[in-house]
Amino acid sequence: MELSRVSGHGPSEWWIEPHGEMRVPVVVYATESLVREMDEKVLEQACNVASLPGIVKAAYAMPDAHWGYGFPIGGVAAFDEEEGVISAGGVGFDISCGVRLLETPLTREQLEPLKELLANALYHAVPVGVGSRGRLHLDEAGLDAMLAGGARWAVERGFGTAADLPRIEEGGCMAGARPEYVSMRARQRQADEMGTLGSGNHYLEVQHVVHVEDAALAEAYGLREGQVVVSIHCGSRGLGHQIGTEYLREMAVEAAKHGIHLPDRELACAPIRSRVGQEYLGAMRAGINCALANRQIITHLVREVFERVTGVRELRLLFDVSHNTCKEEEHEVDGRRRRLFVHRKGATRAFGPGHPDLPAELRAVGQPVLIGGSMGTASYVLAGTRESEARAFSSSAHGAGRCKSRHEALREWRGRELVESLRRQGILIRSPSLRGVAEEAPGAYKDVVEVVDAAEEAGLSHKVARLEPLACIKG
């Protein structure tokens, strides 16, 4: 995009002042080169978000921002309960798509002789790909319990331990879930999909810590150079997509009923206090619990494989973060604390040191922030900062962010060539779809190093450790 459209307001910070129907400014956190590379549609969508009723402070775009449905992916916006709205497009279709990081006691040197065996075993143990089915089937009662209980439900059924729960957002269970507002079609899509990765940009990746950026924080997080870790990236599968699809249709009608002008139909929304708004909140929270339970089951499967292949089962959960959510949180606005509904679409919550919602053992150092790279590139562990509260409602980037569409990627890369190229670099890829591998080519994403540097320079999060892949299971 043209830099003339934005004005610099500090390190990696760019503004568009309110104009037209905008109620608040747009704030983009990115380096100059990342801004230049952004699609013009990102600013257009962010300006549209800034025009919605009840929006507070600004509409934000993270360093990894790119074009999305209604809201840009990498978009953050908070709304007042009295006058504000909730938008299914501001949450996204893959509700609570997120990342969790498991720490192992193994080093890369110890794992290397077993790497191929481990990659194959993980690929066969964790269902992956379009329409993948898990080993668990849930009836109506089981679905209700899962949607209400999240990861706690999974732990109660033997998938993991109670020690995992404090290391998951919301303690592993999103309060206020209303399974009765999840449709029969959404339930049918999810009945056999628990414990599955799905497709697209989802992955299960065995990584190692190649560099510690902050020794004190790394020690507090239990990370050390050379250590093997496992990253799980997936969400609420078919259920979340169905919830988003259905409520977007309802919200388009609801917005008109309440006289809300939509600059883009994809911004369909409903007043938070309306019937549709409250029903979507209940269904969306159930979708969050679905994703948390899904990642918890996959964690159990990963631990089983590690025990069988390496003899090690104690894979400690560092943290589990969600990306596509709307959460009711308390933030300071104009000198006073207010309850707000914070949409984070392709953005990560990043609570800083001292936040009461963090587990006791992490409260002094801040929340781990997990920023995933693209297939074959680095990922990062960062820490939430105190400054992020004022900068963007305690939010940070969530990944590298696409710079080329899947269609463009298919024209430029071939899956088999990518698999062989990465193997020569010591990175094993396991996937049921070479087309899917091509769509997720590393070159189709922004430079994750620049994204992470921008997040730190803007004060959104602070670098702790750099991770690089050894084996990647892709959808």
Beta strands at 55-66 and 26-29: parallel, antiparallel or unpaired: parallel
Q: Is 398 a catalytic residue?
A: yes
Give the phi and the psi of residue 362 in degrees, each rounded to 5. -115, -10
What is the structure's pLDDT at 440?
A: 92
* Contact indicator for 205, 469 with CB cutoff of 8 Å: yes
Neighbours of 310 (CB within 10 A): 18
Please provide the DSSP assignment of 363-404 as one string: HTT--EEEEB--TTS-EEEEEE-SHHHHHHSSEEE-B--BSS
* Contact indicator for 420, 465 with CB cutoff of 8 Å: no
Q: How many helices (H) and strands (E) in the chain? A: 15, 19
Spans of all domains in the chain: 3-403+445-474
CA dist 312 and 303 (Å) reads 8
Write the CA distances from 291 to 77, 284, 459, integer angstroms: 22, 11, 29
Along the chain (475 residues), what's the average pLDDT of each consecutive run of 10 residues?
84 95 97 92 96 98 95 97 96 97 98 98 92 88 98 97 97 98 97 93 96 98 98 96 97 95 94 98 98 98 98 96 97 93 97 96 97 93 96 96 91 95 96 93 93 97 98 92
- Strand order across the beta sheet in which 325-333 lies: 7-10, 13-16, 26-29, 55-66, 73-80, 336-345, 325-333
What is the structure's pLDDT at 449?
A: 96
The two structure tokens encoding residue 432: 């049921």
What b/e string do you get for 148-181 counting C-beta neighbours within 10 Å, with b at 16 or more?
A: bbbbbbbbebebbeeebbebbbbbbbbeebbbeb
What is the structure's pLDDT at 39?
A: 87
What is the structure's pLDDT at 91?
A: 97
What is the structure's pLDDT at 214?
A: 98
Of 137, 398, 407, 462, the catalytic one is 398
3-state SS, residue 263? coil
What b/e string do you get for 374-395 counting C-beta neighbours within 10 Å, with b at 16 or more?
A: bbbbbbbbbbbbebbbebbbbb
Write the CA distances from 83 to 52, 54, 80, 464, integer angstroms: 10, 5, 6, 39
* Contact indicator for 40, 61 with CB cutoff of 8 Å: no
What is the structure's pLDDT at 426?
A: 96
CATH label, 3-403+445-474, candidates 2.40.30.10, 3.50.50.60, 3.90.1300.10, 3.90.1860.10: 3.90.1860.10
